[in-house]
Amino acid sequence: MAVMTYREALNLALREEMRRDDRVFVIGEEVGLYEGAYKVTQGLLKEFGPRRIVDTPIAESGFTGVGIGAAMVGLRPVVEMMTFNFALLALDQIVNSAAKMNYMSGGQYPVPIVIRGPGGPAHQLAAQHSQSMESYFYHVPGLKVVRPSTPMDAKGLLKAAIRDDNPVIFIEAETLYSVKGEVSDDPDFVIPLGQAIVRREGTDATVVAYMGMMYRALEAAETLAAEGISIEVVDPRTLRPMDTETIIGSVRKTHRAVVVEAGAGFAGMGSEIAAFITEQAFDDLDAPVERVTGASAPMPYARNLEKAKTPTRERIVEAVRRVCYAANGSR
């Protein structure tokens, strides 16, 4: 075990996988000479050279297409989006080619590609650069979608994503790059895709949250613990395929659920999680599943309005009180 930042954990994962398998290469804007807009690819050009660390023009659709073509003929590209909001320019390549090629070719062309980069609300990045992009992708059959919340998960899940034979959308977060945590230094350490993790055990309500919201939920847990309410925080880690079993198991224990997501709530991740909880654990529920979501509005630039749009610890606490029918609730 070593303590390192989330950014360093991603860098280590890339480095280990590139050493392990010479089919793995990195392609994107500023990944080589500039060593990444967020320095995730620091030192890789020096170690692996320009054949495997490929700087591209500002052309997401183009370099994503290059990556998909390379994957179709046997390489294992890691495509970096400077921010995942830019992946919108490559949406046709990702949705119509990466996700469907294996199906449409009758299994002749698997596309083992990883498309990674930061996404979600950060610090005053405003309307166009703060979107929770996962919702654009997890709806598409053929894509796997990962959102790693900790340095350990960043490393273990990125390695699993690179080794996976399917296209994997791997969305990091600007706000988490400097978070430090213990990370396995075993080059064979991977975290299988599709496994949720219980971040904190509790008995009164299950809170499902990932990325920054997971940390908000852990803070809310402290506030609630002081009121005598014990929450269990479950981090799905992979959004598709979703580990429904762990979440359902937790709900069967606590009988109440709150789902938190940074993005706007309409048809969001929380809707999906609330739906399968209701389908699979209806008789175990003592309250309707609550969602705490971002407001349905573009992200404002102003700091105070940015805070108002994004779920806070207080809103999570209030939602948990409501599902627990606790006295401090706003109802």
Partner 1 sequence: MAITRVVMPKLSEQMETGKVIKWLKQEGDRIQGGDILAEIETDKADVEMEAFGAGVLRKILVPNGETAPVGSLIAVIAEPGEDIGALVAEPGGGAAAPAREAPPAGPAADVSRRPAAVPPQPRREDHAERQPAPEAGPTAPARPVAPAPAEPTAPAPAAEPGRVKASPLARKIAAQAGVDLRLIHGSGPAGRVVRRDVEAAAAAPTTAPVPAAAVAAGPEYEDRPLSQMRATIARRMPLSKGPVPHFYVSSEVDMDPAWALREQLNALEGQPKVSVNDLVVRACALALLEHPGVNASFQGESLRVWRRVHVGIAVALEDGLITPVLRDAHAKSLGQIAVESRDLAERARARKLRTQELSGATFSISNLGMYDVTEFSAIINPPEGAILAVGAVRQVPVVRDGGVGAGRRMMLTLSCDHRVMDGAMGARFLQDVRRLLEEPLRLLV
Using the rule CB under 8 A, is 279 a contact of partner 1? no
Q: From CA 254, how far away is CA 323, in angstroms rounded?
A: 11
Whole-angstrom Cα distance, residue 46 to residue 11?
13
Could you say whether residue 108 binds partner 1 (CB under 8 A)? no
The two structure tokens encoding residue 321: 């009180």
State yes or no: residue 283 binds partner 1 (CB under 8 A).
yes
User: Which of 215, 174, 178, 194 shows the shortest CA–CA distance to 84?
Assistant: 174
Tokens 């806070």 appear where? 312
**Residue 228 within binding range of partner 1, rule CB under 8 A:** no
> Could you tell me the smallest distance in angstroms from the CB atom of residue 45 to partner 1?
57
Nearest CB to partner 1, comparing residues 198 and 285:
285
Q: Which amino acid is at 62?
A: G
Catalytic residue among 8, 16, 60, 232: 60
Residue 326, interface with partner 1 (CB under 8 A)?
A: no
**CA quadruple 148, 151, 157, 158: dihedral sign:** positive
DSSP letter for 306, please: H
Residue 284 binds to partner 1 (criterion: CB under 8 A):
yes
Does 285 engage in binding with partner 1 (CB under 8 A)?
A: yes
Q: Which two tokens stand for residue 305?
A: 């309005």
Catalytic residue among 8, 35, 80, 129: 129
Q: Report the residue number, 70 or 258, with the smaller CB distance to partner 1.
A: 258
Stretch that binds partner 1, among 48-56, 63-71, 258-266, 281-289 (CB under 8 A): 281-289
Of residues 9 and 251, the one with the C-beta less far from partner 1: 251
User: Which residue type is seen at 108?
Assistant: Q
Minimum CB separation from partner 1 for residue 287, in Å? 6
Q: Is 165 in the site for partner 1 (CB under 8 A)?
A: no
Contact by Cβ (8 Å): 160, 111: no
| Contact between 188 and partner 1 per CB under 8 A | no
123 binds partner 1 (CB under 8 A): no
Binding mask 240-259 for partner 1 (x = CB under 8 A): ---------------x----
| Residue 330 is a binding residue for partner 1 (CB under 8 A) | no
Residues facing residue 235 across a β-bridge: 197
Q: Is 60 a catalytic residue?
A: yes
Cα dihedral: 129, 135, 139, 142 (round 10): 60
Residue 123 appears among annotated catalytic residues: no
Tell me if 30 contacts partner 1 by CB under 8 A: no
Q: How many residues bind partner 1 (CB under 8 A)?
A: 9
Q: Give the nearest distance from C-beta 274 to partner 1 in angstroms.
A: 14
Please identify, among the stretches 48-56, 80-88, 278-286, 293-301, the one whose residues bind partner 1 according to the rule CB under 8 A: 278-286
Taking the complex as a whole, the smallest distance from the CB of residue 285 to partner 1 amounts, in Å, to 5
Binding of partner 1 by 325 (CB under 8 A): yes
Enzyme catalytic residues: 60, 129
Q: Which residues bind partner 1 (CB under 8 A)?
A: 255, 282-287, 325, 331
